[in-house]
């Protein structure tokens, strides 16, 4: 059984981030300077072996919630993140794909067995990263869906097992995508989303977060100078989200993973994808945030 996709290789975002550190002010990405600079870019997925067929059209992106089922509450786990699974190719019964965890991209390979319209898959990540693990899932070609579990290699992690039910989707950049009016507001800075030492030190979101789309209109100082820091950071990070940036910062994952339906995490670095308007707006918004650079999440599952 062989398979080849005509679309670019994308990533599987399986992720789970355990809270260690604290994200930067409203970070976006996974790096230390996170959102802004998107500094710590992870190398994008390697190319899988060439194949000639996409059996039953199973190749592509599958997106949905990645829920913790076995975890240690004392380690303050992230109970669910949005994950994007990319099925890249199948060659001689071996399936190739990718995983992304809060900004950390990991390839995986393993066996794929077909029975009618169902493919039973067992794949593993390389094992040279402490957050690597193995996946078992079924691909239902007639339903464009995937269901399965991920099990961590390292049993001391905050979450050692997750489950997921994903639907097939396509990604396309659209600057017109708007933030929904049901964003979590004050919950963004709740105790569960911030380390104890910083809880209560940030300004939460207000309705102002919905006033501007920083991917469409060049902002002026007067548009942002009176906004709360929480609004500024989410508006800025919405720029990256429209391009499929995979957030390392836990607060930003809490906003975009759980509340923004159109958000599909795909990349660890989107700096070269931003438009001129977006670059200028991101710089302006960042100048008004003034968050300390020391608070970032460490990625994990």
Among candidate residues 239, 272, 267, the one with its CA nearest the CA of residue 102:
267
Whether residue 164 sits in one domain with residue 56:
yes
Q: 233 and 144 in one domain?
A: no
pLDDT of residue 103: 80
The CA distances from residue 40 to 8, 31, 45, 108, 128, in Å, are 22, 4, 15, 22, 18
State the pLDDT at residue 295: 36
The Cα–Cα gap between 23 and 240 comes to: 16
Name the domain boundary from 136, 169, 202. 169
Encode pLDDT of 113-164 as tens digits. Answer: 999 999 999 999 999 999 999 999 999 999 999 999 999 999 999 999 999 9
User: Do 69 and 120 sit in the same domain of this protein?
Assistant: yes
Say whether both 141 and 231 belong to one domain.
no
Cα 22 versus chain centre, distance? 17
d(CA 108, CA 251): 27
Residue 141 within any structural domain of the chain: yes
Residue that is last in its domain, among 121, 137, 169: 169
Q: Quote the pLDDT of residue 190.
A: 58
| Residue 13 to residue 246: CA distance in whole angstroms | 8
231 shares a domain with 201: yes
> Is residue 62 domain-shared with residue 160, that is, in the same domain?
yes
Q: Is residue 111 part of a domain?
A: yes
> Can you give the pLDDT at residue 199?
46
Query: Got the DSSP string for the chain?
Result: -B---SSPP-----------B---TT--SSSSSHHHH--SPPPPPPPPPP-S--GGG--EEEEEEEEEEEE-GGG----EEEEEEEEEEEETTEEEEEEEETTEEEEEEEEEEEETTEEEEEEE--S-STT-EEEEEEEETTTTEEEEEEEES-TTSSEEEEEEEEEEE-----TT----TT--GGGGGSGGGS-TTTTT-SPPP-GGGGS--TTTS---HHHHTTS-HHHHHHHHHHHHHHTTB---SHHHHHHHHHH-TT----BS--GGG--HHHHHHHHHHHHHH---TT--BPP--
Q: Contact at 8 Å (CB) between 232 and 289?
A: yes
**194 contacts 182 by C-beta, under 8 angstroms:** no
- How far is Cα 165 from Cα 178, in angstroms, rounded to an integer? 25
* Domains identified in the chain, total number: 2
Residue in the block written with tokens 């786990």:
77
CATH number at residue 257: 1.20.58
Give the CATH number, domain containing residue 110: 2.40.128
Task: Tell me which residue range forms the domain holding 233.
Answer: 185-289
Q: What is the pTM of this model?
A: 0.78
Q: Can you give the pLDDT at residue 251?
A: 84
Residue pair 31/116 in contact (Cβ under 8 Å)? The answer is: no
pLDDT in tens, the chain (301 residues): 444 444 333 333 333 333 333 334 455 443 333 333 333 333 344 444 554 468 899 999 999 999 999 999 999 898 989 999 999 999 989 999 998 867 888 899 999 999 999 999 999 999 999 999 999 999 999 999 999 999 999 999 999 999 999 999 999 999 999 999 888 765 655 555 555 544 445 556 788 999 999 999 999 999 998 888 889 999 999 999 999 999 998 889 889 998 999 999 999 999 999 999 999 999 999 998 864 233 334 444 5
């Amino acid at each position: 059984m062989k398979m080849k996709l005509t679309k670019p290789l994308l990533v599987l975002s399986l992720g789970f981030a355990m809270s260690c550190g604290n994200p930067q002010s409203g970070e976006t990405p996974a790096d230390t300077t996170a959102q802004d600079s998107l500094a710590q870019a992870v190398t994008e997925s390697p190319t899988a072996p060439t194949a000639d067929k996409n059996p039953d059209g199973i190749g592509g992106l599958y997106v949905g919630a990645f829920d913790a089922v076995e975890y240690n509450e004392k380690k303050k786990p992230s109970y669910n993140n949005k994950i994007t699974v990319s099925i890249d190719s199948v060659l001689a019964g071996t399936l190739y794909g990718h995983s992304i965890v809060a900004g950390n991209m990991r390839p995986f390979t393993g066996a794929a067995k077909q029975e009618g319209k169902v493919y039973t898959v067992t794949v593993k990540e390389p094992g040279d990263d402490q957050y690597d693990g193995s996946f078992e899932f079924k691909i239902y070609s007639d339903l464009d869906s995937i269901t399965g579990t991920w099990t961590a290699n390292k049993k001391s992690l905050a979450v050692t097992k997750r489950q997921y039910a994903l639907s097939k989707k396509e990604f396309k950049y659209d600057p017109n995508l708007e933030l929904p009016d049901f964003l979590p507001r004050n919950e963004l800075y709740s105790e569960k989303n911030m380390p104890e030492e910083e809880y209560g030190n940030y300004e939460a979101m207000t309705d102002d977060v919905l006033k501007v789309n920083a991917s469409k209109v060049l902002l002026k100082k007067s548009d942002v100078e009176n906004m709360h820091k929480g609004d500024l950071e989410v508006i800025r990070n919405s720029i990256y989200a429209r391009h499929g940036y995979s957030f390392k910062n836990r607060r930003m994952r809490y906003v975009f993973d759980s509340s923004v339906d159109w958000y599909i995490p795909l990349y660890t670095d989107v700096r070269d994808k931003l438009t001129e308007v977006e670059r200028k707006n991101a710089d302006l918004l960042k100048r008004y945030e003034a968050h300390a650079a020391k608070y970032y999440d460490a990625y994990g599952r």
